[in-house]
Copies of this chain bind each other. A is one copy, B any other.
């Protein structure tokens, strides 16, 4: 059974006339007659009582018409809904973001995303890298913003921007007297995030420390870490975008001698069909960051 035939049936029932029904359907009268006859044979039921002056639906046809109308209406709504869904730059876009990036990047780019992609409903999801990758692979995210390269042929990624690390020091710390701090010098009393944060590993690697520190002070969030540094518990290494938040709590920032940093990427499933949405989101973020970096290097730091 074909939806087209059902439309033919409705047209004949509506017009009571094969010729006009055919015209309404945009086909010739013989075509429509043949198809209706075939539908009658398929259903095993006479649908119309034909005379040369009128075409009347049979009782069986009347009983079927409701279902036919429903089926055609549903088919039409499939087309209508699909038309609304057609724009890949519209609809939900679940974007995973690592915790050391989200609070500092989102305020920066959210307005720009709304501006550039008004129909895209970006839903941020904050979690650590491995959790984000799991969700991404499970189709629970459309893309993710990470500070690490992604592995595996099922995922793809693109670099959005490089983010330098900064030495974060209590004002009274000896290193605060220097204009530039060497990464290795931070290692002495550096505080780090809890396990699972990529920033923890990157900070340790940057200052030449492979393993974890002995102390019990491992902050669950970058915000906590900043407060701990401000309180004089030690030093740390923060990503550039967190500079504002660090200064807000009275932390002294210094550039790093070897210019340690991290690269922020947007990642997606290699087979993800809305690639253009990923590209668009990535480009908006990258463009916003290019502007910000220019301002930041000239100003704050």
Interface residues of A (CB under 8 A from B): 1-4, 6, 43-46, 49-51, 56, 58-60, 63-64, 67-68, 70-71, 74-75, 77-79, 81-83, 85-86, 91-92, 139, 154, 269, 271-274
Question: How far is it, in angstroms, between the C-alpha of A4 and the C-alpha of B4 when the chains are bound?
Answer: 12
Complex: chain B residue closest to A93, CB-CB = B59
> Complex formed: what's the CA distance from A56 to B137 in Å?
11
Indicate if the CB atoms of B1 and A45 lie closer than 8 Å.
no
Residues of B within 8 Å of A50, CB to CB, are: 271
6 new A-B contacts at CB < 8 Å, known A60-B82, A64-B81: A43-B78, A43-B79, A43-B82, A45-B86, A49-B273, A68-B78
**A143: shortest Cβ distance to chain B, in Å?**
13
Closest to A77 in B: B67
A50 to B59: give the CA distance in the assembly, Å: 47
Q: With A63-B85, A70-B74 in contact, do A273 and B58 touch (Cβ < 8 Å)? A: yes
Question: Can you pick out 26 interface pairs between chain A and chain B where the beta carbons lie within 8 Å of each other?
Answer: A2-B3, A3-B71, A3-B75, A6-B75, A43-B78, A43-B79, A43-B82, A43-B86, A44-B86, A45-B85, A46-B273, A46-B274, A49-B139, A49-B271, A49-B273, A51-B271, A56-B139, A63-B85, A64-B81, A64-B85, A67-B78, A67-B81, A70-B74, A71-B71, A71-B75, A71-B78
The answer on a CB contact under 8 Å between A92 and B59 is yes
Q: Which of B45, B75, B82 contacts A44 (CB 8 A)?
A: B82
Q: Are B3 and A59 in contact, with the CB atoms below 8 A?
A: no
Q: Tell me, in angstroms, the Cα distance from A3 to B68 when the chains sit together.
A: 12
